[in-house]
Amino acid sequence: MGRWSEERVTGAAPDAPSLAAARKLARPGPWSETGSNDVLVWGKCQGSGKSPYQVSVDIAAPAYRCSCPSRKFPCKHALALLLLWSRGEMADGGSVTADFAEEWAAQRADRAAAREHRQSAQQTDPAAQAKRLADRLTLMDAGIADFARWLTDLVRTGLASAHNQPYSWWDGVAGRLVDAQLPGLAEQVRAMGSDVHARADWADHLLLRTGRWWAMTKAWNKRDELTPAEFADLRVAVGWAMASAEVQSSEAFPGPWLVLGAHRSDDGRLQQQRTWLRGPDGTVVLVLDFAAQGEALATPQLAGALLDVTVARYPGSEPQRAMFTGSLSPRGLVDSLGEGCSIAEALDMESAAVALSPWRDRHPVLLAGVRVCPAGPGWLRDGSGDSLPLVGASLDSLLALTGSHPVHMFGELEEGRVRPLSVVVHGAVVTP
């Protein structure tokens, strides 16, 4: 693996405070027993305690380990070590890998080998595969039936009664859905337990979700009548994941792929990174990366970057989820994301997408000539006078970037609001 650039290291930071703290540690003074090889970077960082922290980074995965108590990944120590390494300022410990780094790498290799062995054993026994599929469908059918009864009871008692229920009530329903191997539905129900107390429009939001959940139970019971794309979308909604090996074996689509924008989220249990790409034929796809707490997400790609890489697409309606299938090589940066659309046109495209896949929560849009208006939480207004409220945006940052001038902006439409992910200003694609 080649040496990372400092820009790539900063892109791996989980947040600005971690990066700021790492920059203070990115000097030789606190470090000892540092070294690197083609795959690993390691070192010890002296903190406030007696024993220095042991830091190891797998630059190929990437993956990070540090003996400090921080729950952020990568932590400030791993980031500081990478900064030193990227600048060539790290003392070379020679070719012998430190014991703590070698032990960690061996454990990761053992786990990967065991996982590959299990997957290989499962794939070589068609009868066992068929039985597992039948058992799972039986379990899911029972879970959907139980969920439909719960929805019926919820409507019978009135949606207003749900507002008074404790979080444990919602969590209990979510737990039963997890047991029925319906984790996607479970996450939606669990999130509603917070939404009904946190959102001012909780009644409208709950009504929308309840209707969608009911339609989902009906669609599941008629899954044999759905098209392959419709069933694939339903699988995603209920949380039945497709094995990545199946996707990798499908047709690969070459680039260059343009990075339109990306967003990271963390619900306390699972980290997610969404990266929107556009291919040379105009096809838009979504690359999803997940990491549990204690694990590291993939390094985010820079908005406006052209990537020489092949992708394979998951089944489903457009825009489809995709995954990288080959080595990734940045080609450079663009100064424009292309032609955008008006707010009215964006809403029309969203309506058409919902008609094909009613389970989707967000839709990619490239808006043309929109101004940022500072009223309330912030609004976008186009030349026709149409407006959309902003969500998940730093209004001060957007105003500073755009100066309230018309700009092209890429973002996600979500429940009638837009989340900005990139803005084209002064001939550059910028992340707000």
What are the tens digits of pLDDT across the range 311-334? Answer: 999 999 989 999 998 788 888 889
Domain boundary among 333, 366, 389: 333
pLDDT on residue 185: 94
- Co-location of 111 and 131 in the same domain: no
- Co-location of 255 and 312 in the same domain: yes
With respect to residue 338, please indicate whether it lies within any of the assigned structural domains. no
- Co-location of 25 and 78 in the same domain: yes
Closest of 48, 83, 40 to residue 69, by C-alpha? 48
- Co-location of 217 and 299 in the same domain: no
- Co-location of 99 and 25 in the same domain: yes
Mean per-residue pLDDT for 337-349?
93
Q: Please give the order of strands across the beta sheet that includes 53-58.
A: 31-36, 40-45, 53-58, 63-66
pLDDT on residue 91: 67
With respect to residue 245, please indicate whether it lies within any of the assigned structural domains. no
Lowest mean pLDDT among 79-83, 167-171, 265-269: 265-269
Judge residue 413's burial from the number of C-beta atoms within 10 Å of its C-beta, 0-12 exposed, 13-18 middle, 19 or more buried. Answer: buried
Mean per-residue pLDDT for 385-410?
91
Question: Hey, is 395 helix, strand or coil?
Answer: helix
Banded pLDDT at 268 (limits 50, 70, 90): low
pLDDT on residue 147: 96
Using the predicted structure, report yes or no on whether residue 297 has a pLDDT greater than 90.
no
State the DSSP string of 275-324: EEEE-TTS-EEEEEEEEETTS-PPPPPPTTEEEE--EEE-SSSSSEEEEE
- Co-location of 215 and 273 in the same domain: no
With respect to residue 109, please indicate whether it lies within any of the assigned structural domains. yes
- Co-location of 329 and 358 in the same domain: no
For the stretch 125-144, pLDDT in tens is: 677 778 888 899 999 999 99
With respect to residue 317, please indicate whether it lies within any of the assigned structural domains. yes
Mean per-residue pLDDT for 357-371?
92
Mean pLDDT of the chain: 88
- Co-location of 48 and 108 in the same domain: yes
With respect to residue 171, please indicate whether it lies within any of the assigned structural domains. yes
Distance CA 126, CA 4 (A): 44
Domain boundary among 238, 261, 294: 238
pLDDT on residue 49: 81
Judge residue 24's burial from the number of C-beta atoms within 10 Å of its C-beta, 0-12 exposed, 13-18 middle, 19 or more buried. Answer: exposed
Report which DSSP code applies to 5. P
Using the predicted structure, report yes or no on whether residue 298 has a pLDDT greater than 80.
no
Instruction: Print the domain residue range for 145.
Output: 126-238
Using the predicted structure, report yes or no on whether residue 1 has a pLDDT greater than 60.
no
With respect to residue 243, please indicate whether it lies within any of the assigned structural domains. no
- Decide: 405 and 378 in contact? Cβ < 8 Å: no
With respect to residue 63, please indicate whether it lies within any of the assigned structural domains. yes
Mean per-residue pLDDT for 190-218?
92
Domain count, the chain: 4
- Give pTM, 2 decimals: 0.71
- Co-location of 135 and 215 in the same domain: yes
Residue found under tokens 């995954």: 323
Hey, what are 261's tokens? Answer: 């924008």
Residue found under tokens 């009548």: 225
With respect to residue 1, please indicate whether it lies within any of the assigned structural domains. no
For the stretch 67-123, pLDDT in tens is: 998 878 889 999 999 999 988 887 665 668 888 988 988 888 888 777 776 666 655
Residue found under tokens 């009223």: 375
- Co-location of 149 and 207 in the same domain: yes
- Co-location of 207 and 301 in the same domain: no
Closest of 221, 244, 224, 139 to residue 183, by C-alpha? 139
Mean per-residue pLDDT for 56-61?
85
- Co-location of 156 and 220 in the same domain: yes
Domain boundary among 118, 153, 180: 118
